[in-house]
Structure 1
Amino acid sequence: MARVSQAHLDARRRQILDGAARCFARNGFHATSMQDVLKEVDLSAGAVYRYFSGKDELITAIAKEVLGEIRAAFEDVTRHSPPPPPDLLIGEVLSRTLRVWSSLNDDGEPVLPRLILQVWGETVRNEELAAVLRDVYATLRESWGWAVEAYQDAGMMPPDIPADHVARTMIATVQGFIAQQALFGAAPVEVLQGGLRALMAVRPPQREA
């Protein structure tokens, strides 16, 4: 009997994950059944269960991939010294993150933001996912805290505000834009970048002499 290559196994696993991601993005985790996934990927139950024991394991695998991509994007961008200005840095992170699974769109709407929103909700009942999310968030705060300190050292940002406060605000900006994409439809990253540039340019009003 011919031995199945690792490349074939990896490709089949990818096929299952991509199909499940489409289903979950379309209908949500709990409204999607394993039968829906089997139909989407056009495989037998035996072929799918060889890789994943059930829907919960599929959800966990997809969530770990999504969160891992986000963490990798943040870490890569914040390696520059000093990093690019916040509007460019956040735009680069979002552009890279939103490209993940972009080829899976089947209705013109972004798949990844919907999945991220569902992952956030799923952590309420799934402690394993909650632990993964906490770990990712801690890593992001550390990476972006370093970026803020680099801004401050370069004189690009006031030094009197704790770096962690700024880091948390930057992360919240990304989270909010992802939520908007999921809830209200796709919007170009340039929208967020332009808004950030405008906010960064705000100055106190000049007093009349």
Structure 2
Amino acid sequence: MARVSQEHLDARRRQILDGAAVCFARNGFHATSMQDVLKEVDLSAGAVYRYFSGKEELIAAIVGEVLGSVREAFEDAARQSPPPPPDELVVPVLGRTLAARENLTVDGRPAFPRLVIQVWTETLRNEELAALLREGYASVRAIWSRIVEAYQDAGMMRPDVAPDHVARTMIAAVMGFLVQHSLFGPIPVEVLRDGLRALMSMSDERTASHGSQLG
């Protein structure tokens, strides 16, 4: 009997994960059954259960995969000295994350942002998923804090703000962008880039004016 290649196994696993992601994005986790997933991927129960024991394991695999890819991208940036500025750093990472899943759609709209919202909601009742998300969030936050410290060391960013505060703000900007993407329709990632760029260009004229008056 011929052995199944690793390439075939990886492709089958990808097929199952993508099909499950579409199902979850379409109907939510509770309204989606394993039978729905089997129908979506057009595979037998045996073929799917060879890779995943059930719905909970599928959810964890999807979330872990996304968090891992985001963390890896930011780690690459953190190793640069100094790292690219926020507008040049966040947008390519987010763009790659969305582009890697652009083939997943629900009613002609991108499934991934909707899936993100479903995941956040599910963490309110699923402690294992909540723990996984907390771990991923903490690791991305730590990486972003290192990036901010590198900005400050290079004189690119004011040094009197805690790096963790900036890290949380950058993550909030991305999360908010995904919420808008999900609720109001696709938004080009360049919108986030331009918004960050404009905010970064601001100068505090009030402080400058006050300083000149004192002089």
Q: Could you tell me the TM-score, scaled by structure 1's length?
A: 0.91
Paired residue for 2:33?
A: 33
> Shift of the alpha carbon at 1:102?
1.4
User: Cα deviations across residues 92-143 of structure 1 (Å, max 9, x unaligned)?
Assistant: 2211221222122354322221222211221222222122111111111111
- For residue 124 of structure 1, what is the aligned residue in structure 2? 124
Q: Which residue of 2 aligns with 1:139?
A: 139
Q: Which residue of 2 aligns with 1:16?
A: 16
Distance 1:14 1:191 in 2: 30
C-alpha distance in structure 1 between counterparts of 2:75 and 2:179, whole Å:
21
Q: Is the 8 A contact 1:82 1:150 kept in 2?
A: yes
Cα pair 1:98 1:112 within 8 Å, conserved? yes
Match of 2:81 in 1: 81
**Structure 2 runs not aligned, ≥5 long:** none
Q: Deviations over 1:138-175 (max 9, x none)?
A: 11111111111111111111111111111111111111
Deviates more, 1:90-99 or 1:104-113: 104-113
Alpha carbons 1:73, 1:97 under 8 Å: kept: no
One-letter amino acid of the structure 1 residue matched with residue 121 of structure 2: G
Amino acid at match of 2:183: L
Name the residue aligned to 2:49: 49
Asked if 1 retains the 8 angstrom alpha-carbon contact of 2:25 and 2:106, the reply is no
The match for 2:91 is: 91
Q: Is the 8 A contact 1:69 1:97 kept in 2?
A: yes
- Provide the aligned length of Structure 1 versus Structure 2: 209
Aligned to 1:112: 112
Deviations 1:14-70 (A, max 9, x none): 211111111112222122122211111111222222222222221121121122222
Give the CA RMSD over aligned residues: 1.9
Residue 179 of structure 1 and its aligned partner are, at CA, apart by 1.4
Stretch of structure 1 that moved more, 71-80 or 138-147? 71-80
**Alignment check: 8 A CA contact 1:77 1:92 kept:** no
Partner of 1:70: 70
8 A Cα contact 1:73 1:96, kept in partner:
no
Identity of aligned residues (%): 69
**Would the aligned equivalents of 2:91 and 2:193 in 1 still touch at CA under 8 Å?**
yes
